[in-house]
Each structure stands twice: as structure tokens, then as C-alpha cells.
Amino acid sequence: MILNGRRRGTPKRTGRLLASPSSCQRLGAASCKPSKGEWIRLSDPKITNVRVLDVRFPTSRHQIGSDAVNTDPDYSAAYCILETDVGIEGYGLAFTLGHGTELCVLALEYLAQFVQGRKLSSVTDDTVAFSKQLTEDSQFRWLGPEKGVIHLAAAALINAVWDLYARTEGKPLWRLLADFEPEQIVRSIDFKYIDDAITRDEALELLRRRTASQAERLERLEQHGYPAYTTSAGWFGFTDDKIRRLCREALSQGWTHFKLKVGGNPTDDLRRGQLIREEIGPHKKLMMDANQKWGVIEAIQRTKELAELDPWWMEEPTSPDDILGHARIRREVSPVRIATGEHCHNRVMFKQFMQAGALDVCQIDSCRVAGVNENLAVLLMAAKFDIPVCPHAGGVGLCECVQHLAIFDYLRVSTSLEDRVAEFVDHLHEHFVDPARIVNGHYLLPENPGYSTEIRSETLLAYQYPNGPVWSDPRVSVVT
């Protein structure tokens, strides 16, 4: 990161030493791992403190992330760090767009009481019970329940626990989950409110049936990676020339799936769509995202108008809460597929979308529902309903997180890559210790222990809101 035209040295890390001074500075570093004795000491650390930070990036200055509804987003995160008595830490975040991040911070600070002072095993032995502690607090849940600010905060804390869990096991999260027995996966899911769509026994039978050939699937991912698509060329605020240039760059990098933000003037949407289609050709996939801009009637009309461009899907054509509206749109714009899910509050909404036949593509978000546990429930429901999962990503850390869920889904749940791609947005990855890696339009398998959620310490200092130099010093030159 460049500050005032010079590179800032990395500040000294605090709370990162492991069980002994002679051990590695970072758990899971490829060249040095804790000894057997240290693994024993690290296997059940006590969570001694929870730090919560408001971290914001001024992406609105460059129209990064802009769409028809969110015209000036500053990609941000309510970020939590679980500190332990042995130095190892767990990291989690809730993705936001700037204003209101402070509300998620306050909610996280409240929920931190449920994990502080506990041994990790007291949480991981029953992650569903822990999740319920966060979502069923009899007074706090009134602010949701299981939606909005308090659910985003729950997601951040739950994901931080899973990150810490995977780090202590010395595995990337996708492998931790993939190594679970079917019974362990099912024990990680709260079936309350969804057992009319999938029962515990049905989930267990599905997982057992799809265990076969897991080694072959893993080998395929190791060789080729998990397929992805790019949104980086199609932001709403980009000029036509910039879109053309970015499409050409993406094609040279091996991308085959492109997403365009729509929802503006109909003539402009059609022109920009034609522009991308001209650049990528007739055989590459073009997806469109209206970001909730239209009502149901307008969504039907506008999707039909854009159908000549052969969109692979139309994403969030109307209010993310309007399940029946999505169902009607899907019926009337076929064969254009309807994709949604990044703003589904919880597993119950996903259940209803699937039961109502309201979506063709399920777009989970790693930080919108209550973290890993609730996303496991959605993956299993999607598998039962035979709906492909194409995760939403981008933002701050969403690519880093969701790659783990997509890989797990292929290895253990859906066992298919047909019509499946995970979103990738090429912004802000340099701020993560273990950033997502893309080659030829595919995510490479994460190798380091954890959920890939650790933000660099120098980034936390520079971008903390409102006192970090990026926000408090107008002379600072920002790299995003």
C-alpha cells in the first residue's frame, strides 16, 4: 500500500506468536509448522478477547462497485479478531457499503460476549447451539429476527469462529469441511424452519450417496481450479471505452463468463450490452444484474428487451424480498434464467424461493446469512431441488470466503460443475494475507489454514474509519 508516495513498512504484529517463541510466526506457513506438542496446545485455545474494527475503502472515488441502485459504494467491513491465550487468532467480517458499518460494529460488540472467555471446543463441539445463542437472544433478536444488521454481525462472528477452528486444525476451511463425515456436516446445520423442505435424514442420505469419487473431484480442482466469472468489466459507472478495454484484458486472461450491470436507461443498457457482446463474441457467457432496480412488470419488459443479447441469467430483477414476484418474472421471461440470493436474509427465504420455483440460479453470500452453518443448509437445499449454486462475491473479502464454500459444495454436496461459476471481482485482494488467486478464469484452491479472512495489519491501520490516514489525511494517496 502506498501512503504519501512512499511504501509504509509493515507494523509489528501483536498477539500473533504461537505457543512458544521458537515456533512459526504464522500458523500454517508452508515452510514451518508447529511441532506435535504445539498442535496439542493449539487444539483448544481460549478466546480471551474480541477486537471489532470499522474498516472502509473509498471505492466510490473510482466508481468501483457501482450499479443502478448502489451508485457510490465505499466497500467496507465490520471486522472482528478473536484473540486467544496461545496467540493464534480467528478473523471474520460483515461486508457493507460505507454508511451504517458502525451499526454492524455495535452489534458485533454486543454478540462478542457469547464467545469471549470460552474454549474453542465449547463452540465447535456444537456450532448450531452457538449460532442459536447469537440469533435467539430473546431481546436482541427482536431487531431482526435473523435478518439485517444483527444477522450480518452474527455472520462475522460465526465465520471468525470457523476461521479459528480451521487454523487450529491446520487446514483451509474447504478441506476442514470436506474431511467431515456426513454426520458432522449435518450436525452443523439448524433444520428448524426448513425441515419441510429437507429433513436431517434426507440431508444425511444425500451426503452419504455423494461421497463416492470425491478424490477424483479434488484432483480435477487441483488441476484446473473452480470456474469463475468476472464482474470487473461491467460496473454501472464505467465508460464505454473502459468497458471495451477491460473486456479485452479479461479475454486475454482467459475469462469466459462476464457480468454487466443494468437497470439504467433502456437504450443505454442495450447499447452497453451490445458493446460487451461484440467484444466477447457469441459463445462466451454474458450475465446481467439489475440489482433490484425494477418492479415486477418493468423487470419482465426489460428482461425481454435484453433477451436478444442472449443473457445467461438476469440477476436480482426486482426486490430481493419479493419471492412471488421473482416466480412470475421467471415464468414470463423464460428461457432467460433468473438468479438471486445475495440479499436473502436467511435459510427460510432460500427455502421459499426454491419451493415457489422462483429462481434458476442460487447465489449464496458468505456474509449475508449467518455464516458457514447457514450456508451449509442452503447448499443442501439447493442440491435437493437440483438448483445450481453460483455464489455472489466481490466486496471486501467475499471472494476470499466464498471460494471455500463453492469448493466444498462441489466436493461433497452438488458434486457437479455444470452451469456453476463463482463470482470474482478484481479489487482489494492485496489487502488480505491470503488473497484469492485466479488463473484462466478459475479460482485456485486455497492452501493456507483458515477461511482466508485475515486483513493485513497495515491495511487495518490505514483504512480504519474514521481515524485512519486514508480518511483523516487528504494528502494520502490511496491504492485500491
CA–CA dist 279, 122 (Å, integer):
54
47-56 sheet: strands from edge to edge: 47-56, 76-84, 89-96
Kindly name the residue from 257, 259, 261, 351 that is annotated as catalytic: 261
Kindly name the residue from 171, 392, 427, 442 that is annotated as catalytic: 392
Q: Is 259 a catalytic residue?
A: no
Query: Cα-Cα-Cα-Cα dihedral of 393, 397, 400, 404, to 10°?
Result: -70
Name the strand (E) or helix (H) holding 133: helix 127-135
Bridge partner list, 464: 55
What long-range pairs does 14-21 form, CB within 8 A, spacing at least 24? 15/83, 15/87, 15/89, 16/87, 16/89, 17/87, 18/42, 18/86, 18/87, 18/88, 19/86, 19/87
CB 446 within 8 A of CB 401: no
Q: Residue 241: which residues within 8 A CB-CB, separation 6 or more?
A: none
Q: Is 427 a catalytic residue?
A: no
Write out the DSSP string of 178-229: HTS-HHHHHHT---TTTTTT--HHHHHHHHHHT-TTHHHHHHHHHHH-EEEE
Longest dimension (CA), the chain: 66
Q: Which residues are catalytic?
A: 261, 392
